Each structure stands twice: as C-alpha cells, then as structure tokens.
C-alpha cells in the first residue's frame, strides 16, 4: 500500500482523533443471556423483576429484584456471579468482533466492578470453629490457620478483572473501576480515551454486577432508595411515573469491543456503531443527592455532545438513566429539558430499568449495548409501567410499547452517588449515513 | 503529541506525620519508623499520626460522615491542593480531574461479631440476619463503604466539580491511577489532575483479608528487605495525593514544580517464581537511561519471594541508593504507589536526589514502575 493510500484510509473525528468503533456487543440480564433473548424481551415490554428467592426476605421492606438466577446451581459469592456475568458478556462480544484469537485479545481491559467485601457465609465459616463469642481477633486466629486461603483471592477487588484478563488474554494492566452507578459508562469512556491516545488498537470494556445479597439490599433499603411496591414485582420499576417510589436492584453485565475504526476496517470487521463522544462531571453538592439545578448532569450531556462534534438536534433518542427514584427522574427530565429545550416534549427518552431494574455498576455498559441494538434495529424499547404520568415532567417516554423509529444517534445517561455524572453519545456506523 | 507532566502539589500523611519535610527527613535516614506492635497483636502496624482534621475538613458534619480512610484521604488531598496553590481557584477546580485508588469501607466490627455469635444459635439464620442488619447497620455506613465516596468527599469538601474516577484492585489500583493520570495529561486529554489514594491500616477487617492468604508479618518490625526469617507485610496508615499538571500549564501560571514525572508503566505478570523479577527488570529497562546514583524507592511489600525478586531487579540500577517505603511508613495497599511517587517527588523537590526510580509489586498481582527527574 502506498503512503498516499495509507493516508486516505486514516479516518479521524472532527478533532483529528482516531474514531472509536464498536465491533462486538454482549449482554446478560435477568431477561436472559445474549443479545437475542434480551432484545426480544425488551421490545416485548417484558420485565425481568421477580420475587427474590436467593436468600430469605423475611422482615425486609423490599423483597424483589432483577436477580440473574440461571447461572449457578449451588450457592455463590457476589464476585463469583459478577465474574460469570462478565465472562459471558465478554465472550459474546469478543466472539462477535472476531478480533484476535481465543485467549489472545489484542487490547486492554477496562472493567466496572462492584465493591467487594467478605460476605456472611464465609464469615460464618470462619466463626464456626470459634469457641464463645465471635470477634475479629477470633476470625484472625482462624484465618492464620491458612485453611481458608481461597477466600483471600475471592474477596480482593482486583480478582474479577484478573480472571477476565487471564481468560481473554487482554494486554497490559487491567483496570477495575467504580464511579458508582455510572461505572459501566466510565469503563467505556476509558476505552475510548485509550484508543484515542493510540495506546491500544482495541479495548474490552465491561460493566458487571452480580451483588444482590441480603446486606447489599438492606443497605440500599436503609437509604430509602428502593421501591417497596413488591406486588406485583414486575410493576415496581416505574420511571417517570407519578407514583414512582424508588429503584429496583438488578444484576447483569454488558460488554463492548471498542476498536480503532481504521483497524476494524482494515480487517474487514462489521462496524456496529461508534462511540462518538463522552462527557463527565462531578457534583460537589451532596453525597447522595444531585445538585437541585441539575448543572453537572446538563454539563455532562453538553460535554458529550461537544466531544462528538454534534448538537442537541442530532440526537434521535435518549437512553435515560431513569432509575424510578423520585429525585433522579425529576432531575434528569429537567436537565434534559435544559439541554434539548422545547424539543424535549417530542424527543423519545425511555428507561431500560423499567424492565431490568437498576444493574448498578453494570448499568452504563448494559444500557450502551441496548442503545446500539436500538440503532441497529430501528426500534426503541419502551418504558413499561407508565400508567400514571407525572404531570411535572412531560416527556415522551415511549410508554409501554416499543416503537419503530430510525435512530442514528443516542445519548445514554448514567448518574451515580458521590456526584458522578457520565453521558455517552453513541451513533450508527458512518457508512450508514 | 506527548506533553511533559510535572508534579506541582504533594500531599503526604502517615505514621510519621504530614508534609514534605517530615517525610524527606525519613528518606534522609534521620527518623525511625513508628510501629505499634501491641494494638493489633500479633500483627504490627504503622498507626497514623493524629491529624488536626479541622485544618482541611472544616465542617464537623463532613468529618462525621466519613470513615478514617476517607478523612485521611480528604485531608491529604487538601494538602496537595494547598501545595499546588489551587485550593481556592474555583475555575481550576472545575477543570480538575480526579483519580482515586481506593479499597472498601470499614466494617462495624462489634456489629459483625455480635451477629456472627447470634447466627450460630439462630433457628432461622436468614431471618435473623435480616432483622439484625435492618436494626444494626447505620444507613450512612453504606455511603462510607462505597469505594467512590472518597472521591465524592474530596469533591464536596474541597469544592472540586471536575469529574472523578475511582480505581480498585489493591496495589495495582494505585499504579494505574498514576499511570492513567500521566497518560491523559501527556496526550492532552486533561491539563491538570489530582491523583492519589488513602489507606487505613488500623482495622481488623483488612488484616483479616490479608491474613486469609497468609500475607501478614507477625511479631516485631523488621526492615522490608530483611524479613526472610519471618516474611510478610506490615501495613501502615498512609495517604498521598499529587497534583499533576502539563508542564506548559504549570509554567504559564508560574507554579512551583517539585519534579517531572517522566514515565509510569505497569504490568500484570502471571505470577510464578521469577516473574516479578523479570517483569520489574523489563519495566526498569523501559524507563529509559538512569544515571548512576539515582534514588531507588521501592514499595516492596515484604511478602515472601517477591520481595527478594524486587531487590534483585532494583540491583540492576547502577549504584542506586535503595530505600523502601515499608521501612518508612509501612505498606499502604492502594495508596502504596501514590505514597512512593510522592516520596520520590519530595526528595527531588528538596534536593535530596536528581533522579528517582520507583518500583512496586503488588502482594498478589500487578507490577509498576516510574521515573522522576528534577524539574
């Protein structure tokens, strides 16, 4: 190939940076494993929320969740489920991309993983051999026998990514990150940045969360963050409805193979879409509440659009954070109105969480995968359970039934505790325009 | 485009106290490590020297909503911002990007013990656990336990409205935090960043995690590279935050520059005997030429095998003056590498060295190295 030809195949974005293509997508949620199962359920308006059977729920205010119950026969710890979900989603994404060889992925790994800590069954196992009252000195003495060595690796923060890196042969030092409920989007953003820097031709970006256990549920419950409308379970997540009363915890994983666009073209890969822009802003207002003026969320969306070189008018659909908490949905609607103006009344914005619950650490990645499926199919998944609209937030939430519509550009929002606001601009493959 | 990256703010706090001078005195060899061998016996720890928290966290309500590791980190981040002269610069703080290497929150040890005791005789253990957790967990504890809430608290207390990211994964989180911050500034993806970590060693839940794998040293303190008879980690409460900035930006605002952060590299070897040494030798080689007599600071953990391997890799540096953070402040897991880089930058800033190489191998996974030169 001559130098001239090489130059002519160098695609760059409006800022002269490498374009970041998506060549593989994978997903697991309570609706099922894989893109086909999830897409069928999401566009049928089916809910994956159900009564929790994993642990006793006696005495709890919330007894429902979008748990993924079809992967293990026996008991497991949260990091084991998070790892399994990540492996399955990554396997689907890497398989679809056709990139590299089995166990030799030619790119870096960016993983959003839930916080890990020692769980009750393992602590009980240590406590079983202690005489008299249990305290941490007793647990330490039992640990020092080295009979429970496997627990060390199991409860290290870095282990899930370590195992995924081993399985897929990703390159470099894998990143395990958290930006709370925007973690999945941050994993994608970090992959985009690494490819734009030219550090890596490809990135495997994963968000995973399999951490619904009694204590995790109780902690959110004590913050009054969860819906308590347990019956029927599938009706509890009601984003943007007037009677919304909290989110429903969900589990799942989303995986994306990101690749330098020219690298993908050169190997004849199918381009599934482009991660065109990312925006993120901190909110120094409060530990759990968003700034009442929505400023950080507004700036995150505007930054993402500017990063993509697009304007609000270019957006065809918003994949909402839409948790179904009174505060988030109000703040998000208001922030979107500030960014999109009068157009917001007609601009479709739906929440996948109405069906899969809030997959927390995984949500940004899971919802990015669904956004690319939305682009590919020209069909928008609905916001289900939209029976009692909230008159204070007039929106086109694509109520209850999926809608066919050409979608080229999606804005996907993720907001989290600790003042984390991340927005992604996801677009169709340029050749389709 | 690769831009120069410089360190314009250093925040350091540990068992030795706080600030650049205190820690440089220890590097110079005039301070003995502070060790508490009794409070957590048989496990020695380096306890944090009490901080005057009001100086960096003025609101008591903010202090109350944090755990010790978060207060330590927020305090130290404040020292770095002060040192860089940007503490009251609202515009810079709206651009400032933050990366924090963090672990998890502290358990309520008394609650855990009481529940574990009760669970042994409970007829319906699941229902008992639910009842006790609903009654005994403090709602705010949850927030203190979210890894990203150190970054959140830094934002709230210091008024930073730039975005933050939290890396997890023990020692390597600290390596990758500094590596990523450096890469983003070098590539022009950010102009100024606050990066660091914080670790509270005075907690039995973390001792438990490490001891499950048999990684802790028991008994008395011994220097990191002299623990063969009884190898293991002695953890230390410590935090370091750095303000990293593009050289142009720092020059344009006339900021005092402590050191140039020339290179940061990381690896993840598949651990087997010899892999840590081979990996660190490769990383040191990739740092580029290092003049004889450079300062070599190591975050070696003291763990069996890999500590000696790290020593062998460092020995390849010509006439280097070797120092171990474990001999100064102890091992600070996620914060270990930030502390390491901060100590090197402090040494360069005060003229104790012209050039420094830092290395660290995580106790379980991950290897990192960095090269700093005098600005």
Predicted pLDDT at A284: 77
Same domain, B24 and B126: no
End-to-end CA distance of chain A: 27
Share of chain A above pLDDT 90, in %: 92
Whats the size of chain A, residue-wise? 433
Q: Do A176 and B137 touch (CB under 8 A)?
A: no
Q: Are residues B155 and B72 in the same domain?
A: yes
Q: Is the pLDDT of residue A46 over 60?
A: yes
Work out the percent of chain B whose per-residue pLDDT is above 90.
95
CB contact under 8 A, A153 and B364: yes
Confidence band (pLDDT; 50, 70, 90) for A1? very low
- Containing domain of residue B126, as a range? 109-141
**Distance between CA A152 and CA A54 in Å, rounded?**
24
Average pLDDT rounded to a whole number, residues A215-219: 95
Residue-level pLDDT at B145? 74
**What is the rounded distance in angstroms from the CA atom of residue B199 to the CA atom of residue B238?**
6
Looking at the fold, whether B265 and B360 belong to one and the same domain comes out as yes
Burial class (CB in 10 A: 0-12, 13-18, 19+), B213: buried
How do strand A175-178 and strand A108-112 relate by DSSP bridges?
A: parallel
Q: Is the pLDDT reported for residue A5 higher than 50?
A: no
d(CA B257, CA B263): 16
Catalytic residue among A163, A213, A263, A358: A358
User: Looking at the structure, do residues B174 and B135 belong to the same domain, yes or no?
Assistant: no
Min Cα–Cα distance to chain B from A199, Å = 9
* pLDDT of A433 strictly over 80: no
Q: What is the DSSP string of A23-68?
A: EEEEEEETTEESHHHHHHHHHTT----EE--SS--TT-S--EEB--
Residue B329 has pLDDT above 60, yes or no: yes
Residue B250 and residue B178 share a domain: yes
The confidence score (pLDDT) of residue B204 equals 98
pLDDT of res. A293: 85
Asked if residue A138 has pLDDT above 70, the reply is yes
Which two structure tokens, joined as six digits, stand for B118? Answer: 């009760």
Arithmetic mean of pLDDT, A306-316: 97
State how far residue B348 is from chain A, nearest Cα, in angstroms: 28
For chain B positions 118-157, those within 8 Å of chain A (CB to CB) are 119-120, 124, 126-127, 129-131, 133-134, 137, 139, 141-143, 145-149, 151-153, 155-156
User: Which residue among B133, B176, B364 places its CB closest to the CB of A215?
Assistant: B133
Q: Which of B327, B278, B368 is nearest to B34 (CA)?
A: B327
Strand A20-29 to A317-319 pairing: unpaired
pLDDT of residue B219: 97
A7 pLDDT band, cuts 50/70/90, is very low
CA angle in degrees (0–180, nearest 5) for B85-B86-B91: 150
pLDDT at residue B1 tops 80: no
Residues 6+ apart with CB under 8 A from A417: A180, A181, A287, A288, B143, B146, B148, B149, B152
| Euclidean distance between the first and the last CA atom of chain B, given in angstroms as a whole number | 20
Q: Which residue, among A118, A163, A197, A284, would best test binding to B if mutated, counting the most B CBs under 10 Å from its CB?
A: A284
Catalytic-residue membership of A321: yes
A326-383 pLDDT, tens digit each: 999 999 999 999 999 999 999 999 999 999 999 999 999 999 999 999 999 999 999 9
Q: Which residues of chain B does A220 touch, with a Cβ-Cβ cutoff of 8 Å? A: 142
The token duo for B293 is 């007599």
Same domain for B222 and B130: no
pLDDT of residue B139: 78
pLDDT value of position A430: 84
Are residues B238 and B330 in contact, defined by beta-carbon separation less than 8 angstroms?
Answer: yes
Percentage of residues of chain B with pLDDT beyond 70: 99
Judge contact between B65 and B240, C-beta under 8 A.
no
Closest of B261, B231, B214 to residue B10, by C-alpha: B261
| Of A301, A327, A366, nearest in space to A42 by CA | A366
Residue B71's pLDDT is what?
97
Joined together, the tokens standing for residue B306 give 């890999």
**CA–CA gap between residue B26 and residue B9 (Å, rounded):** 19
Phi and psi at B374, nearest 5°, equal -65, 135
Q: Which residues on chain A are in Cβ contact (under 8 Å) with B152?
A: 287, 417-420
Q: Does B1 touch chain A (CB under 8 A)?
A: no
Dihedral Cα A217, A221, A227, A232, nearest 10 deg: 50
Q: Which two tokens stand for residue B305?
A: 């095998």
Mean pLDDT over the full length of chain B = 96
| The pLDDT of residue B141 | 66
Residue B100 structure tokens? 């924090």
For the cut 60, the answer to whether the pLDDT of residue A6 exceeds it is no
Distance CA A85, CA A325 (A): 26
The answer, yes or no, to whether residue A216 has pLDDT greater than 70, is yes
Q: Taking the model in full, what pTM does it have?
A: 0.97
* Beta-carbon contacts of residue B94 (< 8 Å; ≥ 6 apart): B160, B161, B162
**Bridging pattern class, strands B17-18 and B5-14:** antiparallel
Residue-wise pLDDT for B166-220, tens only, equals 999 999 999 999 999 999 999 999 999 999 999 999 999 999 999 999 999 999 9
Average pLDDT, chain A: 95
Of A155, A282, A418, Cβ closest to residue B149: A418
- A129 reaches B (C-beta below 8 A): no
Question: Is the same domain home to B37 and B117?
Answer: no
Chain A CB contacts of B205 below 8 Å:
117-118, 136
* pLDDT at A13 exceeding the cut of 70: yes
| Domain match, B131 and B150 both | no
For the structural domain made of A19-117+155-427, what CATH number should be given? 3.40.47.10
Q: What is the CA radius of gyration of chain B?
A: 20
Confidence of residue A9 (pLDDT cuts 50, 70, 90): low
Residue of B nearest to A307 (CA): B189
Query: Roughly what angle, to the nearest 10 degrees, separates helices B336-349 and B20-27?
Result: 90
For the stretch A371-429, pLDDT in tens is 999 999 999 999 999 999 999 998 999 999 999 999 999 999 999 888 899 999 999 99
Cβ <8 Å between B211 and A144 = yes
DSSP conformation letters of A246-310: -B-BB-EEEEEEEEEHHHHHHTTPPP-EEEEEEEEEE--S-SSSPPTT-HHHHHHHHHHHHHHT-
Rounded-to-integer distance, Cα A22 and Cα A69, Å? 29
| Substitution target from B168, B217, B336 for chain A, most A beta carbons within 10 A | B168
Average pLDDT over residues B256-278: 98
Shortest CA distance to A281 belongs to which of B159, B182, B164, B89?
A: B164
Residue B343 in this model has a pLDDT that exceeds 70? yes
Domain map (residue ranges) of chain A: 19-117+155-427, 121-153
Question: Which of 83-112 (A) contact B at CB < 8 A?
Answer: none
What band does B345 get if pLDDT is binned at 50, 70 and 90?
Answer: very high
Mean pLDDT for B238-245 is 98
pLDDT value for A289 = 79
Contact B137/A219, CB-based, under 8 Å? yes
Q: What is the pLDDT of residues A189-208, one digit of tens each?
A: 999 999 999 999 999 999 99
| Separation in Å, CA of B75 to nearest CA in chain A | 16
According to the model, what pLDDT value does residue A4 have?
A: 38
Q: Is the pLDDT of residue B361 over 60?
A: yes
DSSP strands (E only) in A62-171 = 64-65, 108-112
What integer is the mean pLDDT of A81-108?
Answer: 98
Q: Which residue of A has its CA nearest to B146?
A: A115
Number of domains within chain B: 2
Q: Residue A285 above 60 pLDDT?
A: yes
- CB-CB under 8 Å, B43 with A139: no
- Asked if pLDDT for residue B40 goes beyond 60, the answer is yes
Q: Decide if B144 contacts B65 (C-beta within 8 A).
A: yes
């Amino acid at each position: 190939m001559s130098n001239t030809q090489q130059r002519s195949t160098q695609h760059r974005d409006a800022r002269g940076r490498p374009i970041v293509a998506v060549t593989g997508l994978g997903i697991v949620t309570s609706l099922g494993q894989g893109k086909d199962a999830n897409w069928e359920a999401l566009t049928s308006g089916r809910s994956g929320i159900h009564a929790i059977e994993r642990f006793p729920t006696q005495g709890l205010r919330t007894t429902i969740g979008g748990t993924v119950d079809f992967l293990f026969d026996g008991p497991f710890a949260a990091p084991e489920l998070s790892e399994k979900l990540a492996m399955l989603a990554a396997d689907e994404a890497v398989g679809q991309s056709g990139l590299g060889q089995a166990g030799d992925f030619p790119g870096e790994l960016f993983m959003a993983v839930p916080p890990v800590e020692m769980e009750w069954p393992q602590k009980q196992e240590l406590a079983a051999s202690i005489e008299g009252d249990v305290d941490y000195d007793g647990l330490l003495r039992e640990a020092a026998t080295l009979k429970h060595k496997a627990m060390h690796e199991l409860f290290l923060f870095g282990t899930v990514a370590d195992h995924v890196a081993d399985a897929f042969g990703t390159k470099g030092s894998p990143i395990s990150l958290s930006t709370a409920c925007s973690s999945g989007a941050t994993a994608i953003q970090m992959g985009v940045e690494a490819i734009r820097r030219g550090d890596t031709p490809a990135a495997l970006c994963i968000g995973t969360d399999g951490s619904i256990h009694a204590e995790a549920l109780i902690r959110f419950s004590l913050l009054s963050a969860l819906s308590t409308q347990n019956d029927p379970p599938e009706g509890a997540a009601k984003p943007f409805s007037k009677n919304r009363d909290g989110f429903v915890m969900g589990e799942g994983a989303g995986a994306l193979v990101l690749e330098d666009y020219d690298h993908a073209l050169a190997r004849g890969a199918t381009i599934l879409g482009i991660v065109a822009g990312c925006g993120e802003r901190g909110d120094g207002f409060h530990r759990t509440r968003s700034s009442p003026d929505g400023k950080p969320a507004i700036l995150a969306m505007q930054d993402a659009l500017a990063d993509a070189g697009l304007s609000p008018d270019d957006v065809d659909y918003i994949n909402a954070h839409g948790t179904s908490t009174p505060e988030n949905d109000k703040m998000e609607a208001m922030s979107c109105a500030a960014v999109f103006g009068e157009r917001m009344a007609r601009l479709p914005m739906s929440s996948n969480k109405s069906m899969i619950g809030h997959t927390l650490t995984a949500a940004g990645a899971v919802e990015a995968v669904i956004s690319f499926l939305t682009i590919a199919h020209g069909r928008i998944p609905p916001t289900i359970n939209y029976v009692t609209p909230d008159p204070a937030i007039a929106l086109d939430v694509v109520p209850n039934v999926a809608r066919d519509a050409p979608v080229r550009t999606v804005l996907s929002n993720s907001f989290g505790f600790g003042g984390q606001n991340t927005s992604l601009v996801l677009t169709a493959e340029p050749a389709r325009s | 485009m690769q831009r120069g990256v410089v360190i314009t703010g250093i925040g350091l706090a540990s068992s030795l106290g706080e600030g650049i001078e205190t820690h440089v005195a220890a590097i110079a060899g005039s301070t003995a490590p502070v060790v508490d061998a009794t409070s957590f016996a048989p496990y020695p720890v380096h306890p944090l020297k009490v901080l005057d928290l009001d100086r960096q966290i003025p609101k008591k309500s903010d202090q109350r909503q944090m755990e010790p590791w978060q207060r330590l980190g927020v305090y130290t981040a404040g020292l770095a911002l002060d040192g860089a002269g940007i503490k009251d610069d609202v515009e810079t703080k709206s651009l400032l990007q933050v990366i924090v290497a963090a672990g998890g929150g502290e358990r309520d040890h008394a609650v855990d013990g009481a529940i574990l005791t009760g669970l042994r005789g409970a007829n319906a253990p699941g229902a008992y656990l639910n009842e006790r957790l609903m009654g005994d967990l403090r709602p705010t504890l949850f927030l203190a336990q979210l890894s990203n809430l150190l970054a959140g608290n830094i934002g709230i207390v210091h008024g930073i409205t730039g975005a933050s990211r939290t890396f997890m994964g023990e020692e390597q989180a600290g390596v990758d935090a500094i590596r990523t911050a450096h890469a983003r500034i070098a590539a022009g993806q950010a102009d100024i960043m606050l990066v660091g970590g914080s670790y509270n060693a005075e907690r039995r839940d973390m001792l438990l995690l490490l001891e499950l794998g048999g990684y802790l040293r028991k008994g008395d303190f011994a220097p990191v590279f002299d623990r063969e008879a009884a190898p293991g980690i002695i953890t230390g409460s410590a935090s370091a935050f750095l303000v990293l900035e593009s050289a142009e930006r720092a020059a344009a605002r006339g900021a005092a520059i402590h050191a140039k952060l020339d290179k940061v590299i990381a690896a993840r070897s598949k651990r087997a005997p010899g892999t840590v040494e081979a990996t660190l030798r490769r990383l040191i080689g990739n740092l580029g030429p290092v003049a004889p007599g450079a300062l070599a600071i190591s975050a070696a953990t003291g763990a069996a095998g890999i500590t000696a391997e790290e020593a062998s890799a460092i020995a390849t540096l010509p006439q280097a003056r070797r120092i171990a953070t474990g001999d100064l402040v102890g091992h600070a897991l996620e914060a270990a590498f930030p502390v390491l880089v901060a100590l090197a930058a402090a040494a360069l800033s005060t003229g104790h060295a012209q050039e420094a190489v830092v290395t660290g191998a995580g106790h379980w996974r991950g290897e990192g190295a960095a090269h700093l030169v005098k600005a």
